[in-house]
Amino acid sequence: MHTTVTYFLQESAKRLGLSDQQLNKLLTPNKVHEFTITLNNGKCFQAYRSQHNNDRGPYKGGIRFHPDVTRSEVVALSILMSLKTALLDLPLGGGKGGIAVDPKQLTAHELEELSRKYVAYLSPYIGPQQDIPAPDVQTNSQIIDWMTDEYHKITGDTSGASFTGKSLKKGGSNGREAATGRGGFIVAQTIMQSNNITDVSYGLQGLGNVGSFFATEASTLQPRWQLQAASDSKTAISSKDIDAQSLVAYKKHNQKIAGFPNTVELSSNQLIRGEYTMLVLAALGNVITPANASVVRARFIIELANGPVTDKATDILFHQGTEVVPDILANAGGVVVSYYEWLQNMQKKRWTHEDVNTKLDATMTQATVDVLDYAKLTNTTLKQAAFDVAVCKLLDLPLRK
């Protein structure tokens, strides 16, 4: 992932004529906290928090619990967060954290202890005006509630704004759970409308939280869109027009999509090869590489996951007519509503679902229009345009007119 982020920033620097000093500022985090957490039973885990850039406001970004978490990955993701917040015109910077752990192998007590000790170490370096973490891969509102409580115990802060992604009863925001999926849908809808495409078919890789909400929002707000293939971590299925609401309910009840009525099973490679208007990637990074990019036949790829298309694959796709809608735009809905949660906590207010969604839709639509306009003006791809616009906003440079 770090290689891909570096590549796109280097290419952006060339197009924008950045100095070496400006490029180095983009590639280098202000601070990386790297430490070991030891539980009372002696188990040890490597932990990280990368604070990339806070020129526009407090650092903002999630905390992931996964065995493959590394310093390099956390740094790359913190860079992407700085770009996202700049692209969406949020008064925030970029950060990211993680612990190299499989949370499924911990007891509930161990998980709580790990979460609280992570905050205990970082407490001098985070806070409502300094660095505002949130949930990410394999972390959730319960973990964030523990972390918020620990920060309160250590610092006395009562705002609740030290973390976002909290449960509703602990100061979380309406609409936060669906925000990334809904935001991705709004981006996709805006792009379809700008291309005068009304009959939309799509394949969906990944039916977790983000993919599920993308599909259900699409089903509700654009009922003419046809979901023609979907996958979870174990199975891919296909049909001419899958009922997204029923599929998501089936997955929630059965913990799988295998056996969903009136569908046939596919391999993951077959899903990627489908002739759709859009291929929505909502699972893992590095899914489309030079090894399989040539078989993609979708007109658009929507990067709901972080970095699902590698840099070299992006070039291959462009030359064969597939446009990549980049992650820093497509999956930014989560950080937008995280900002709204922070704002509500600071103002001691609670917005309705309708308020949150109205504001989210307007923000995501405007950011997408900005990228579309810049891509047309400069004859660049959507991915190049998104990076260029974000870099200009982050470095406070004028956009090309």
Catalytic residue ranges: 96
Do 273 and 295 contact (CB within 8 A), yes or no? yes
Q: One-letter amino acid identity for 188?
A: A
Helix orientation angle between 2-16 and 71-87, rounded to the nearest 10 degrees: 40
Do 313 and 293 contact (CB within 8 A), yes or no? yes
Residues 6+ apart with CB under 8 A from 56: 85, 86, 90, 91, 92, 93, 393, 394
Cα(371)–Cα(385) distance, integer angstroms: 6
Query: Is the alpha carbon torsion for 286, 246, 297, 178 positive or negative?
Result: negative
Do 331 and 310 contact (CB within 8 A), yes or no? no
Do 212 and 246 contact (CB within 8 A), yes or no? no
Cα(91)–Cα(155) distance, integer angstroms: 24
Backbone conformation region of residue 86, classed left if phi is above 0, alpha if psi is from -120 to 50, else beta? alpha
